[in-house]
Amino acid sequence: MNRFFIHFSDFDHFYIIDKQVCIDYNSSMVKIDKKYQRYADIAATFASGVFSFIVGVVVLKADLNDYYLFIYLTASLLMITSLLHIINGVRKKDSRKDFFVRALIEFVCSVIILTFPKIPLQMLSVIFCIYMFLTSLVYLINYFLMKKQHIKDKSLLISILSFMMSIAFFISFKAQRILSVYFIGGYFLLWGFSMMMNALIDLFFRKIDNPKIRLCLPAIIDCVIPSMWLNRINRYYNETKHTEILEVRSNEPSDLQVLIHASHNGFNSFGHVDLMFEGTIYSYGNYDGRSERFFTMIGDGVMFKTTDRDAYIKFCLKRCHKTLFVYGLRLNEEQKQIVRDHINQINQIAIPWDPEFVHRPLDKNAPSIDLHVHQIYNEAKGKLYKFSQGPFKTYDVLSSNCVRFADMIIGKNIVILKMVGFITPGTYLDYFEGEYKRSSSNVVSKDIYSIYNYDIGEEDENDPYKDFD
């Protein structure tokens, strides 16, 4: 049975290849000199950092009239984009409705901005105020959850600081000041500085396994990245029948794989993260639906482990309607041992969880909250565990979640700086995609699995879950 993969080297071009064809083709392909590719990547990273740094300086030094000029330019670009979408809508009948809706939204936004140019600056302060307040609330909840487990962390301090920043942005809004603009300018400075530092590390410390520092976007933006990528893939398959090999990049063997899930269903639209190390997949989440509380955002933390990679991928694609982005990392022996040590720490506090209902057919009148754990146990062919103590005993979708679990196992093999808030699956997707494009990175492979390119089997009349949604 063939396994199909999608690989892509940039954000806009996809290609489909059979794994065996890829291997045969790579053996005879002409490869770009790695030395020149490395220097090109370093130069591009450094130039992007310089540009971002300059943008930050310009934003911080600009006066109010300059901001208004930028707002008018933005409104004009929205108007032009609206016109282009109308033209595309006329040309493409199948997507006409989508293009016209986008054009209408962009046109209305441009008119509002041109009529009330002060609104964008005021809205920035309101948005940042709300975001920082929610961040403070999340960390406060996390503090009480950790306190219940007698675990000391910095959640309370971060909660207080976030609340103070929300007050500052509220005062800025009431006083009609532009604190939010300075915040954005400072962000561009930090982003540019981190990119320049990464380029210099690559240039002068090539033989040292230094983790790269990447400044992530705020979680409010990062959380929608998986859905954005999923939309691009779906559009590709729905709008084209292209199956030629556009480009082939040799994927090297990896020691650790990061599986990033994307879906359009409920909280799954924010994404999910799993790890595979030395033949075992580790997945963490609130698989015990009976323990859910606070609008399903909090519950018992459950770890699922399986050595059947194929079964797990089929389960994710068929039952959960997901698409998987899988990145492979190459680790040295010291880094591998760090991962092993972290996994051992988790295993020491893991308690087998074996609910009785997973061992018998699930009745169609059974509670729907039992469906997911019944499916993952029986179809992904693994074992379930809860925790006796530690930060993962209680699952919290906004703090002690799957990303924090993966981050704890990977450790300092990667370094992601959080601007404000949390590391989301979108943060991981953005980070690993950026690292994969760099020839000197230890992210050496990438695969995408979806129902369009992976064999999940035919519809079965004897499917035990056919009566369930």
Q: Tell me how far CA of residue 464 lies from CA of 142, 316, 319, 378, 468, in angstroms.
A: 39, 17, 12, 11, 9
pTM (two decimals): 0.75
pLDDT of residue 27: 34
Which has more pLDDT, 260 or 401? 260
Q: CA 466 to CA 178: how far, in whole Å?
A: 56
pLDDT mean over 185-199? 85
Is the per-residue pLDDT at 53 higher than 80?
Answer: yes
With a pLDDT cut of 70, the percent of the chain lying above it is: 81
416 φ/ψ angles, rounded to the nearest 5 degrees: -115, 120
Whose structure tokens read 């199909």?
Answer: 4
Strand partners, 286: none
pLDDT mean over 353-374? 84
Residues 6+ apart with CB under 8 A from 422: 138, 219, 398, 399, 403
| Mean pLDDT over the full length of the chain | 79
pLDDT of residue 415: 62
Q: Give the best-scoring range by mean pLDDT among 70-79, 110-119, 218-227, 283-292.
A: 283-292
pLDDT of residue 246: 31
Strand partners, 449: 324
Contact 67, 124 (CB under 8 A): no
212 secondary structure, DSSP code: P
Strand partners, 293: 298
Q: CA 78 to CA 289: how far, in whole Å?
A: 44
Q: Tell me how far CA of residue 101 lies from CA of 82, 84, 108, 294, in angstroms.
A: 10, 12, 11, 35
Count Cβ neighbours within 10 Å for each residue of 155-170 and write b for 16 or more, e otherwise. bbebbebbbebbebbb
Count other Cβ atoms within 10 Å, centred on residue 115: 9
pLDDT mean over 302-312? 95
pLDDT of residue 113: 84
Q: pLDDT tens for residues 125-181?
A: 888 888 889 888 888 888 888 787 777 778 888 889 889 989 988 888 877 777 888
- Pairing assessment for the beta strands 298-300 and 302-306 based on DSSP bridges: unpaired
Is the per-residue pLDDT at 19 higher than 70?
Answer: no
Q: CA 454 to CA 384: how far, in whole Å?
A: 26
pLDDT of residue 339: 92
**Stretch among 80-89, 213-222, 239-248, 345-354 having the lowest mean pLDDT:** 239-248
pLDDT band at 348 (very low <50, low <70, confident <90, very high): very high
Give the CA angle between residues 223, 122, 132 to the nearest 5°. Answer: 40
Q: Which of 333, 249, 337, 318 is nearest to 465 (CA)?
A: 318
Q: pLDDT tens for residues 415-452?
A: 665 555 567 888 888 888 888 877 667 888 888 888 88
Count other Cβ atoms within 10 Å, centred on residue 454: 22
pLDDT band at 244 (very low <50, low <70, confident <90, very high): very low
Sign of CA dihedral 387, 392, 393, 396: negative
pLDDT of residue 259: 95
Q: CA 409 to CA 67: how far, in whole Å?
A: 44
**Stretch among 22-31, 177-186, 445-454 having the lowest mean pLDDT:** 22-31
Contact 215, 417 (CB under 8 A): yes
pLDDT band at 221 (very low <50, low <70, confident <90, very high): confident
- Pairing assessment for the beta strands 272-277 and 256-262 based on DSSP bridges: antiparallel
- Pairing assessment for the beta strands 15-18 and 394-396 based on DSSP bridges: unpaired
Is the per-residue pLDDT at 256 higher than 70?
Answer: yes
Residue-wise DSSP of 213-250: EEEPPPHHHHTTHHHHHHHHHHHHHHH----S-----P
Instruction: Reduce the DSSP state of residue 50 to 3 states and report it.
Output: helix
**Stretch among 7-21, 296-310, 411-425 having the lowest mean pLDDT:** 7-21
pLDDT of residue 238: 65
Is the per-residue pLDDT at 18 higher than 50?
Answer: no
